[in-house]
Structure 1
Amino acid sequence: MAVISDYALLGDSHGAALVSSDGSVDWWCPPRFDAPSVFARLLGATGGFWSIRPLGRYTTSRHYLDGTMVLRTEFHTDSGVLWLTDALSLGAGERGHRIGYTSPHVLLRQVEVVDGAVDVAVEVAARPEYGLVNPTVAGTPVGIEISGAADRLILTADRDLAVDGSLVTGRFTLEAGDSAVFALHHRRAADPPIVPLDGRAALRDTVVAWQSWDRIHHDYRGPYREQVRRSALVLQALTYQPTGAVVAAATTSLPEKVGGAANWDYRFGWLRDGSATLRALWVAACPDEAHRFFDWMAASIGSLNEGDHVPIMFGVGGERDLTEHTLEHLEGYQGSRPVRVGNNAWQQKQLDVLGEILECTWVLRHELADPSPAAVGLLRSLADQAAATWREPDASTWEGREGERHYLTSKLLCWVALDRAVKLAPALNAEAQVPRWSYAMKQCREAILADGWSTARGAFTGAFGSEHLDAGALVMPIIGFLPGDDDRIVSTVDAIRRELGRGDLVQRWTGAGEEGAFIICSYWLAQALAMAGQLDAAKQIFESVTARANDLGLLSEEIDRRDGSLIGNFPQALSHIGLINAAWAIGQSESGTEPSTGPVAPPGR
């Protein structure tokens, strides 16, 4: 069984597939990220897969083609060398700044022998609806049709394949210079019939489209350029282009602890991560991507009734109801049950969302010189809500399900909401609200400084009146609440490094036991150190945690502190967002630029 780090991401900016290092597609959810899978062996033996590999012994290496999310796996056998190239098609004509706006929903796989001769084995076991459906498989004039529930698949190939019940299999030999291409087309039952693509041409178009996007967008010239570049491509692959939403991860139910029950569905867009996401898009991609993400957030929220709390997350199309259920027929990744679809955190009250949205507005303030009346109304209502509710308990940024408390990060982001609203007041035609917002902001700040600080711990703690440390306190300098070199911030950073850190790995809070280290916390630490002028320490943390990515530069949500393995949903957008923002902060520190909470101008741009 492959482990999480064995997988590569394929994306078409609509959905995602994961391919193991031995050539098996064990996860694919067409036509969008949160759709039911047609391959899900990642989460259970009955989930379905598509394997292409040499017969007999082999070793592998792999890489993405430069500037793309097109994967090349090289199989070295006793008789020859086989290349397997995998991609989700971007379709013909996709170029420039908005790849993936439309998608043919086709999984492309090409094999070619570059030396000697290789015997190749193909096995396709599609199992729609997370493995619940054993499909009907039959040959047709246009290809092999796989039908089950709402899914229709057509497999085309230029090699003979056989139907064996619900399986498709093939065996053939390729010699140096020979190649074969396969294309698996997906549609829903109600969609028009499939018109098969030319697989070779589609693969060439996809490579060119990705490289065009990379060439146009990636002009970041700060430190760690290649790592930032790869993370930018990952974020593009995790963006649902029809709306601009960025999903938290491509997967559901990959565990925070192997064998445990903390297995969540992350195939949705979180407003709670909004400002960090927008900054990373601005630094690593272009303003267009950041604008579309902001527009998706605003459109998803819509108008608020009095007393409504702002949802922390939405479906990629803006859906609110993400009610969670379990898939009892799947045993989960390495026995990690339950397997969940949907996420009940959508119902939580998290006050930090108010600050996230107003911070996004502040970052884009020069680009949003003439906001619409609807946007003005929304932003004013968010500031009013922060003024009215900052004293209330909530569920916190970590989405705990044990009840509400007065969490530090929630108060901090309420302060951000009010601070940015006051600064944006002229653009919001809200000068009359400034005294009320300013008074609430002052009270909130005083409460954080008094009740969030523990003299005994010499640090800001996770919640008012608590002695437990929380890595979320590392965002205090990042959001501009206190300077990075403030004595209280330096003391808090030192305490977190001492008590939550093990080398470069940082846990979320004290008392977490064997819980994994959250990768974003390490990048927050690097960013905070850079803002404190501790550049060498920041770079050491950054480089150490970044080196823990898999061989393709992909990061999960967490790292198991016992053995260093990647755990949690994969690849995790927030980890790559943290990488980009920490690299930028290090570049700011190196150049002597004063960190700012305003619009980002990346080093060298």
Structure 2
Amino acid sequence: MADHHPERQSAIDAHGIIGDMRSAALVNDKGSVDFFCWPEFDSPSIFCSLLDTPEAGIFQLSPDLPDARREQIYLPDTNVLQTRWLSDRAVVEVTDLLPIGDSEDDLPVLMRRVRVVSGEATFHMRCAVRHDYARANTRARMEARDVAFDADDQPSLRLSSDQAMHVDGAAAVAEFTLKQDQSAQFLLGGFDDPRFKEGAAQLCLERTLKFWRDWSAQSTYRGRWREMVNRSALALKLLTSRKHGAILAAATFGLPETPGGERNWDYRYTWIRDASFTVYAFMRLGFVQEANDYMRWLRGRVSDSHGQSMKLNILYAIDGRQELPETELSHLAGHGGATPVRIGNAAYDQVQLDIFGELMDAVYLVNKYGDAISHEGWKHVVEVVDQVCETWQQEDVGIWEMRGEQHHFLHSRLMCWVALDRAIRLASKRSLPAPFARWDQTRQAIYVDIWENFWNQERGHFVQYRGGTALDGSMLLMPLVRFVSAKDPRWLATLEAIQKTLVRDGMVYRYRNEDEGIDGLDGTEGAFAACSFWYVECLARAGQLEKAHLEFEQLLRYANPLGLYAEELDSHARHLGNTPQALTHLALISAACFLDRKLSGEKSVWQP
């Protein structure tokens, strides 16, 4: 057994994700669960070897087939994952899922089922739960045929199996041999979970498959790249809280944006920045309920800030918690040695003026395609927009949460304009009372400010912040939010400059940090996958369809074998940063929908 204990960290893109909309786990292509926070998305981890060694917690389950080819697939139209081994001696599959419970309050259960498709194979299982990010002293003990895991002040867990297990080194271990068509299963969950009773596992699997397939069938998307679009939708649904309706930025924390670097953040929270992208993507694919649920969560945050100037945070925990203090887990070695590993996110206390634009764009979209705004909701909107009128000229940290100096960022100005524009449109459309003259005057003032103060005549393009000369990937949103025509000469000049400076083989960087160190951190980061999809959409809107089509096809090849994306891509297009990244999949859906319509020759009634 000792030979199967060591396991090197897997690459970020060598993972699938499973989840039940309360928590999520990553399964690498060696058959190990190396990341799992339990029982909530943002709870302390019980498996964390992805950021350290197996001593930080891991659930290994694999056949003794060293020469086998390994592959991972999702069972069609589901988030049920299968890892497969193919060799001369045997074909083996391990099916992993977090069953969808009857209630949103059911605790997550990790279900692992191994089956020999052909031949015969010997299997090794080692389940080493390590509570509280591997900071607690977890004890393993036999409980009849099961193994219990306990730690002081931590929830107890139980591992149940139809195979004989024993305890070795505070871990549950087993070795067993299966022949063709034989199977074994393992269930890990809360100590008293009723689903441990015999026969429940098969029912859980069938119900979970039905849940995901019924949900996928609601998609109205019938265009090109349907498999990638639907996989993105399934990933987004998996990252959505069933109880609260909020969507996580990503399932993980601490995965590096720079190999071996310090850019290692916790993304298990909800960013207001992603609001309009989320609503648009769900609405575009026909998932109106998800968009409405998300807006219900968002309305709760606006209500929380009612009457408190600048109280709308840039990010929240999925249950609405506002304070997310940042801590470093110095005992973890980091992925690829990238330290520090952080939990919590100090950005919650930053000022970002752009969030009001994303918020109002989401409110506008939902009112256009979903539920109409309530009287109280509109009162809150008026308060938010009046606040934008007062604060739009202030400096902030910008969309990318710079930890350097504050500036007058173009993107923040742009989104303040969006906030006013969408509020005016909504009030007019719904005949709602509003201070139209003041709002329109401010909207025009911001418009003039952007054209006069953020256009660099000498460089011939828009600039990242007032007085600067740099470009920024967030500029790609200028035509997407309908501020500027996608074929305006100044915009096309900016797009060309972005292409020369920030684009490398279709991969777009958010900004270049080498010259000024603007983000206050050492080193640089990878290409930002969401910006890369925004770039495709900008090309398509500018009429460069052939180029947009090719760039999009290339980006699709940069997904991992399961169709998932992390936040960033390195120079070899390998994944960097937390995974799977909601914003990347949201941007993919938007680009695919628009590009498909254009390639099909569909005429737009009005297009910026």
Q: Does TM-score exceed 0.5, indicating one fold?
A: yes
Q: Normalised by the size of structure 2, how large is the TM-score? A: 0.93
Residue 31 (structure 2) aligned to one of 16, 23, 44: 23
Of residues 136-145 and 105-114 in structure 1, the stretch that sits farther from structure 2 once superposed is 136-145
1:510 to 1:295, Cα distance in 2 relative to 1, 3 A: same
Shift of 1:280: 1.1
Distance in structure 2 (CA, Å) of the matches to 1:474 and 1:569: 22
Of residues 443-452 and 421-430 in structure 1, the stretch that sits farther from structure 2 once superposed is 421-430
Shift of 1:144: 1.7
Shift of 1:186: 2.7
Question: Are the counterparts in 2 of residues 81 and 116 from structure 1 also a CA contact under 8 Å?
Answer: yes
Shift of 1:76: 2.1
Offset from partner CA, 1:35-58 (integer Å, 9 cap, x none): 101100011113100000112413
| Matched ranges for 1:1-80 at <5 A | 1-45=9-53, 46-57=55-66, 58-80=68-90
Structure 2: gaps (5+ residues): 1-8, 515-522
Tell me the secondary structure at the aligned position of residue 115 of structure 1: strand
Match of 1:96 in 2: none
Match of 2:277 in 1: 276
Amino acid at match of 1:146: F
Tell me the secondary structure at the aligned position of residue 443 of structure 2: helix
1:101 to 1:536, Cα distance in 2 relative to 1, 3 A: farther
Match of 1:549 in 2: 559
Shift of 1:368: 5.8
1:584 to 1:542, Cα distance in 2 relative to 1, 3 A: same
Residue 151 (structure 2) aligned to one of 140, 148, 152: 148
Distance in structure 1 (CA, Å) of the matches to 2:193 and 2:243: 22
Match of 2:113 in 1: 110
Amino acid at match of 2:407: R
Distance in structure 1 (CA, Å) of the matches to 2:258 and 2:587: 21
Shift of 1:377: 1.6
Distance in structure 2 (CA, Å) of the matches to 1:553 and 1:120: 28
Q: Does 1:469 align with 2:479?
A: no
Residue 340 (structure 2) aligned to one of 332, 338, 341: 338
Amino acid at match of 2:413: K
Tell me the secondary structure at the aligned position of residue 56 of structure 2: coil
Distance in structure 2 (CA, Å) of the matches to 1:169 and 1:115: 24
Of residues 282-291 and 405-414 in structure 1, the stretch that sits farther from structure 2 once superposed is 282-291
Match of 2:230 in 1: 229
Distance in structure 2 (CA, Å) of the matches to 1:331 and 1:62: 27
Match of 2:245 in 1: 244
Match of 1:299 in 2: 300
Offset from partner CA, 1:496-552 (integer Å, 9 cap, x none): 011111111111113447521000111110111111111111111111112101110
1:171 to 1:285, Cα distance in 2 relative to 1, 3 A: farther
Shift of 1:428: 7.2
Distance in structure 1 (CA, Å) of the matches to 2:278 and 2:92: 38
Distance in structure 2 (CA, Å) of the matches to 1:508 and 1:426: 36
Distance in structure 2 (CA, Å) of the matches to 1:297 and 1:386: 18
Offset from partner CA, 1:102-123 (integer Å, 9 cap, x none): 5441000001111110001101
Amino acid at match of 1:177: D
Shift of 1:239: 0.5
1:285 to 1:180, Cα distance in 2 relative to 1, 3 A: farther
Tell me the secondary structure at the aligned position of residue 520 of structure 1: helix
Of residues 198-207 and 448-457 in structure 1, the stretch that sits farther from structure 2 once superposed is 198-207
| Matched ranges for 1:182-261 at <5 A | 182-186=186-190, 196-197=196-197, 198-215=200-217, 217-261=218-262
Residue 589 (structure 1) aligned to one of 569, 579, 598: 598
Shift of 1:265: 0.2
Question: Are the counterparts in 2 of residues 181 and 200 from structure 1 also a CA contact under 8 Å?
Answer: no
Distance in structure 1 (CA, Å) of the matches to 2:284 and 2:472: 27
1:289 to 1:587, Cα distance in 2 relative to 1, 3 A: same
Match of 2:5 in 1: none
Offset from partner CA, 1:452-505 (integer Å, 9 cap, x none): 111122111111121101111110000000111111111111110111111111
Amino acid at match of 1:572: Q
Shift of 1:432: 4.7
Match of 1:521 in 2: 531
Match of 2:581 in 1: 572
1:432 to 1:519, Cα distance in 2 relative to 1, 3 A: closer
Residue 173 (structure 2) aligned to one of 161, 169, 172: 169
Distance in structure 1 (CA, Å) of the matches to 2:61 and 2:605: 49
Distance in structure 2 (CA, Å) of the matches to 1:369 and 1:113: 50
Amino acid at match of 2:25: A
1:59 to 1:595, Cα distance in 2 relative to 1, 3 A: farther
Match of 2:518 in 1: none
Question: Are the counterparts in 2 of residues 40 and 47 from structure 1 also a CA contact under 8 Å?
Answer: yes
| Matched ranges for 1:418-497 at <5 A | 418-426=420-428, 431-497=433-499
Shift of 1:257: 0.3
Match of 1:559 in 2: 569
Match of 1:408 in 2: 410
Distance in structure 2 (CA, Å) of the matches to 1:544 and 1:204: 36
Q: Normalised by the size of structure 1, how large is the TM-score? A: 0.93
Distance in structure 2 (CA, Å) of the matches to 1:306 and 1:178: 62
Question: Are the counterparts in 2 of residues 90 and 104 from structure 1 also a CA contact under 8 Å?
Answer: no
Q: Does 1:138 align with 2:148?
A: no
Question: Are the counterparts in 2 of residues 557 and 569 from structure 1 also a CA contact under 8 Å?
Answer: yes
Structure 1: gaps (5+ residues): 93-99, 599-605
Amino acid at match of 1:594: S
Match of 2:375 in 1: 373
Question: Are the counterparts in 1 of residues 382 and 434 from structure 2 also a CA contact under 8 Å?
Answer: no
Question: Are the counterparts in 2 of residues 30 and 186 from structure 1 also a CA contact under 8 Å?
Answer: no
Aligned residues: 585
Distance in structure 2 (CA, Å) of the matches to 1:306 and 1:107: 42
Match of 1:383 in 2: 385
Distance in structure 1 (CA, Å) of the matches to 2:434 and 2:148: 65
Distance in structure 1 (CA, Å) of the matches to 2:10 and 2:33: 11
Distance in structure 2 (CA, Å) of the matches to 1:228 and 1:369: 25
Distance in structure 1 (CA, Å) of the matches to 2:506 and 2:221: 25
Offset from partner CA, 1:192-225 (integer Å, 9 cap, x none): 665525223212221122111111x222012221
Question: Are the counterparts in 1 of residues 513 and 524 from structure 2 also a CA contact under 8 Å?
Answer: no
Offset from partner CA, 1:412-452 (integer Å, 9 cap, x none): 00000111111122477754500000001000000001111
Residue 311 (structure 1) aligned to one of 284, 305, 313: 313
Shift of 1:259: 0.6
Shift of 1:565: 1.3
Distance in structure 2 (CA, Å) of the matches to 1:308 and 1:559: 34
Distance in structure 1 (CA, Å) of the matches to 2:77 and 2:371: 34
Question: Are the counterparts in 2 of residues 85 and 110 from structure 1 also a CA contact under 8 Å?
Answer: yes
Tell me the secondary structure at the aligned position of residue 306 of structure 2: coil
Of residues 397-406 and 306-315 in structure 1, the stretch that sits farther from structure 2 once superposed is 306-315
Tell me the secondary structure at the aligned position of residue 533 of structure 1: coil
Q: State, as a whole percentage, how many aligned pairs show the same letter.
A: 35
Distance in structure 1 (CA, Å) of the matches to 2:174 and 2:78: 29
Residue 182 (structure 2) aligned to one of 153, 178, 185: 178
Question: Are the counterparts in 2 of residues 452 and 464 from structure 1 also a CA contact under 8 Å?
Answer: yes
Question: Are the counterparts in 2 of residues 310 and 349 from structure 1 also a CA contact under 8 Å?
Answer: no
Shift of 1:313: 0.8
Question: Are the counterparts in 1 of residues 413 and 450 from structure 2 also a CA contact under 8 Å?
Answer: yes
Of residues 455-464 and 316-325 in structure 1, the stretch that sits farther from structure 2 once superposed is 455-464
Q: Which runs of 4+ in 1 moved over 6 A?
A: 595-598
Distance in structure 1 (CA, Å) of the matches to 2:327 and 2:183: 43
Shift of 1:369: 6.1
Distance in structure 2 (CA, Å) of the matches to 1:173 and 1:271: 50
Question: Are the counterparts in 1 of residues 164 and 174 from structure 2 also a CA contact under 8 Å?
Answer: yes
1:260 to 1:375, Cα distance in 2 relative to 1, 3 A: same
Offset from partner CA, 1:321-379 (integer Å, 9 cap, x none): 11111111111111110111100100011111111111111112235664223211211
Distance in structure 2 (CA, Å) of the matches to 1:227 and 1:507: 23
1:309 to 1:104, Cα distance in 2 relative to 1, 3 A: closer
Tell me the secondary structure at the aligned position of residue 113 of structure 1: strand
